[in-house]
Amino acid sequence: MKLRGGNALGIYISIPFCRSKCTYCNFASGVFLASDHARYVERVIADIAGARTWSEGRGTELPRRVDTVYLGGGTPSLLAPELVAQLFATMRAEFDLDVDAEITMECAPGQLPDATLAALVAAGVNRVSLGVQSFVDSEAHASGRLHSRAIVEADLKRLRTAGITNLNVDLIAGLAGQTFASWEESLEILIASEVPHASVYMLEVDEDSRLGREMLKGGARYRARLVPHEDAIASMYERAIERLEAAGLRQYEISNFCRPGFASRHNLRYWQRRPYLGVGLDASSMLRAPAMHCESGLVSGRDFSRARTESPLSESFAPVDSLALRATTTDDLQAYLAGTGASEIEWLTPAQQHEEAWFLGLRTNEGVDVAALRAEFGEELVDPAMETAKRMTEDGLLDFDGARARLTARGRLISNEIFQEFLQPEVAESSRRT
């Protein structure tokens, strides 16, 4: 069995509360009553406390050691200080957090009261991600954000004064009303802020967002007609890469840029397929489980766990590989609060993990280490994918130097299409012929 991550776990906690709903947002987040916050944290605490039993019941490995924690949302900084303290007290009671664990909290500018900031510092939060999206006030407001450039700058100052210097700023290319000039302005201000990490996303309008519905059905409330053309959005993204790299923020993933030593360790674990426990609304976990060959074939984690506990291992069981369990909690808040929402559970076979290894690895500028893939998954799975990789290399979408495959600059612009090819090679093959 191969386990990744040196037996360390990452924990993601979803806090789905927002003070207002952004026009482009389709996440399972919303504006809920403050009274729901305490009930919600109570449920999250119960899930953290019950995680070991839950994992054992499925035969998965749940390392006690934790090296990254990420509170995302939503807007976790809306939690009252005592709720932040309760969450971390439970986490520290159930798991061993490394002394140098990276502990990130997402915050909305202007929505981080002094008492909450003090609670974050006391809890050990050492990285904050600010959802800025645009430093141009009119764009931010039109997208449903409540802050201004001045508020963001004041928050960055407060965070640094409080000792949190590992800071990320999110920007979105393609907001309604955005122009090349206003995009340059946002990039300029981001660079001047000297944050060590930036995330830049190209707007993808989902039809379930208010902006998406207005694009489909018409209307003027959310300025859908002012969303830039996709070619313009791609040019803005390319300009961001150029400007940020020149300013010392090196791209290390499709959407992420950092100064040396400031890559997000938590997000890297997703792309490197290291295990994580997701707790809260619509949160995903990926845990590994031993798989065994027995006379009747491959035995997955739950059955393996039962075999291991109910009878001594016989000679007919031999560990061959690891399976991965993906579990996603319900996105229905009331069901989650009532404890009635079932999690979706899926076992990923080695073949499915191999597909993920391609599309997750290609997200990073380091790319995919082909020898490591062969060692983990064998020729049978890797060889057909290499045919796809070679074809993409001929098309200028991948750069393959014989050891690693990486997306080219052009490939990054259509990364989702490229990932599809690795998911469905037979579909890719037929579309290539037409």
Residues that bind ligand SF4 (CB under 6 A): 18, 21-22, 25, 27, 29, 73-75, 108, 131
Longest dimension (CA), the chain: 69
Count Cβ atoms within 10 A of the Cβ of residue 218 and give its class: 0-12 exposed, 13-18 middle, 19 or more buried: exposed
Nearest alpha-carbon partner for 384 in 355, 413, 414, 353: 355
Closest approach of ligand SF4 to the CB of residue 194, in Å: 24
The residue among 173 and 373 lying less far from ligand SF4, judged by its C-beta, is 173
Minimum CB–partner distance for residue 136 and ligand SF4 (Å): 17
DSSP-derived secondary structure letter, 418: H
Q: Which is nearer to ligand SF4, 30 or 81 (CB)?
A: 30
- Cβ contact 200:132 at 8 Å: no
**Secondary structure, 3-state, 179-239:** CHHHHHHHHHHHHHHCCCEEEEEECCCCCCCHHHHHHHHCCCCCCHHHCCCHHHHHHHHHH
Place of tokens 């971390």: 88
User: Residue 64 Cβ, how far from ligand SF4 at the closest point, in Å?
Assistant: 31
Q: Look up tokens 């080695």; give the residue.
A: 350
Q: How many helices (H) and strands (E) does the chain have?
A: 17, 16
Question: Of 29 and 186, which CB lies nearer to ligand SF4 in the complex structure?
Answer: 29
Quick one: 29 or 86, whose CB is closer to ligand SF4?
Answer: 29
Q: Rounded to an integer, what distance in angstroms lies between the CA atom of residue 354 and that of residue 386?
A: 12
Distance of alpha carbon 36 from alpha carbon 43, whole angstroms: 11
CB of 148 to ligand SF4, least distance (A): 16
Cβ-based nearer residue to ligand SF4, 131 or 361: 131
- Cβ closer to ligand SF4: 119 or 203? 203
Shortest distance, position 108 Cβ to ligand SF4, whole Å: 6
- The full DSSP string for 317-347 is -EEEEEEEEEEE--S-HHHHHHT-PPPEEEE
Residue 129, classed as helix, strand or coil, is: strand
Which residue lies nearer to ligand SF4 by CB, 129 or 393? 129
To the nearest whole angstrom, how small is the minimum distance from the Cβ of residue 176 to ligand SF4? 14
CB nearer to ligand SF4: give 125 or 132: 132
CB of 201 vs ligand SF4, minimal distance in Å = 10
Q: Compute the least distance from the CB of residue 106 to ligand SF4, in Å.
A: 8
- Interior angle at CA 276, CA 59 and CA 386, nearest 5: 90
Say which residue the tokens 């074939």 belong to.
Answer: 297
Residue whose CB is less far from ligand SF4, 108 or 171: 108
CB of 344 to ligand SF4, least distance (A): 21
- Supply the minimum distance, in Å, between the C-beta of residue 82 and ligand SF4: 22
Q: How far apart are CA 254 and CA 109, in angstroms?
A: 24
For the record, the structure tokens of 431 come out as 């579309």
Q: Nearest-CA neighbor of 325 among 62, 72, 101?
A: 62
Residue 84's closest CA among 114, 131, 116, 50? 116
Q: Which is nearer to ligand SF4, 9 or 25 (CB)?
A: 25
Q: Is 160 left (phi over 0), alpha (psi -120 to 50) or beta?
A: alpha
